[in-house]
Amino acid sequence: MNRAALALLGALAAGACGPQAAPPSGPGGPGRIYPLDPASRTIVPKRFFLGGAGTMRGYAEEVMVAQDLRAGLAEQSNHCASSIASGHTAGQAGCTGPGATLASGRQVVSEGGGAFLVLKSELRIGVSRSVELGFFVDLGNLWANPASFRLLDLRPNAGTGLRFVTPVGPAALDIGFNLLPDPHLNERLWALHFTIGLF
């Protein structure tokens, strides 16, 4: 009889990133951008983005919208949807671009954030020498303004997947579920991820 091997993995890294912050990768942890000038604004390519195989597996790659922007985007969407339902065009209704996008049922493009926190845990069960079954939970969120950070705002994801040991490195096929999709932002319920080299 083949014994099943169990592995419990979890991660919480500690540290902070400076003004040249890179997007999060690896097992997870916190990050914050500290601008050298309080009046400066971090450009989009230097901000943090969440979503995808390396961060929040219930989201597609880099689509998570910052928590402190969600309410404003929901208001814009509601304004556009009610104006369009009244017979106005998006232009006549004074809709913003993001509001019109959300009112049409699509997702807005994430602008990233200045702070994030990701906590990840995974249970692996050996199926054979080269295949493992994984069950995971990810908690995390993103904030445009680091001062808006609240631990109670963490968003949960959970899912399952297969891990394969191959001659070219580890490979994983995961399906992650967004346990609290935001209907105002048209968030999807699930995301599929295939990765090579992330274990």
Q: What are the tokens at 13? A: 């890294």
**Percentage, residues of the chain above pLDDT 70:** 82
Rounded distance between C-alpha atoms, residue 44 and residue 58, angstroms: 23
Q: What are the tokens at 117? A: 């926190």
Rounded distance between C-alpha atoms, residue 32 and residue 38, angstroms: 14
Low-confidence ranges of the chain (pLDDT < 50): 1-23, 25-26
**104-123 per-position pLDDT tens digit:** 999 999 999 999 999 999 99
Beta bridge partners of 119: 139
Rounded distance between C-alpha atoms, residue 138 and residue 156, angstroms: 6
pLDDT reported for residue 92: 62
What is the number of helices (H) and of strands (E) in the chain? Answer: 2, 7
Domains along the chain with CATH numbers: 6-64+112-196 (2.40.160.50), 69-103 (no CATH)
Write the CB contacts of 123 (distance below 8 Å, at least 6 apart in sequence).
Answer: 6, 7, 8, 9, 134, 135, 136
DSSP characters over 33-72: B--SSTT----GGGSB---STTS-TTS-TT-PPPHHHHHH
